[in-house]
Amino acid sequence: MTINEQTLPADKFVRALCMAEIGVLSASVAGQISRFFLGHPELKGLVPLLYVDYERNIPAFFSMCLLFLASLILLVVTVQQ
C-alpha cells in the first residue's frame, strides 16, 4: 500500500482533537475556579500545571504537539507531490 492509497477519516480525527482541546480548557477553567472561588491557589501543583497562560505545562505541551502534527501533515503532503 503506497502513501497515496492511505486515507484518514478526517471527521473522527477532528472530533478527537476538538475533544482533547475541550478537555484541556475545561481542566484550566476548573483550576481557576478552584483558585479564585474555592480558595485553593495551588491545589498540589495542579492549578499552575493546567493554566493556559503559563509556559512549560500541559496546555503548552498540547499546543506543541499540535504544531508538530501540522508539520507532519505538511511533510506528507509535500512527499506526495
pLDDT at 2: 54
Band (pLDDT 50/70/90 cuts) for residue 77 is: confident
33-54 residue pLDDT tens: 999 999 998 888 889 999 999 8
57-73 residue pLDDT tens: 999 999 999 999 999 98
H helix count then E strand count, the chain: 3, 0
Rounded to two decimals, what is the model's pTM?
Answer: 0.78
Contact, 38 vs 80, CB < 8 A? no
What are the structural domain ranges in the chain? 16-80
Average pLDDT over residues 10-27: 91
- Burial, 27: exposed, middle or buried (Cβ in 10 Å; 0-12, 13-18, 19+)? middle
